[in-house]
Amino acid sequence: TLAAANIEGKTIVLTGAMVPYAFGTSSDGFFNLGSALAFVQVLNPGVYVAMNGRYYNWDEVKKNRKTGYFEEK
C-alpha cells in the first residue's frame, strides 16, 4: 500500500472530484486541487485526503453516501 511504501519524510495529499471536469464550472475538481496544493505545503509528512476544503488522514476518512461529503470515521 501507499502508506507502507518508503515515503518517510514526504507529504502526499490525494484528491479528486465529486463532479467530473466534463461538467465545467460546476466541477469541484479545481477547488479540491487548489486545496491539496495548499495542504501539501503546510502538513506534516504523511498521507492525507483533501476534499471539500478539508484534509483527513488517509486511514481516518470515509465518504458519507447520504450527504455526498467526506468525513472522519
Give 3-62 pLDDT, tens digit per residue: 566 778 999 999 998 887 777 777 888 899 999 999 999 999 999 999 999 999 999 999
At 2 the pLDDT is: 60
Comparison of pLDDT for 35 and 1, the residue scoring more: 35
Closest CA to 39 of 25, 29, 49, 24: 49
What residues contact residue 22 under an 8 Å CB cut-off, 6+ apart? none
**pTM (whole model) above 0.85:** no
> pLDDT category, 71, cuts 50, 70, 90?
very high
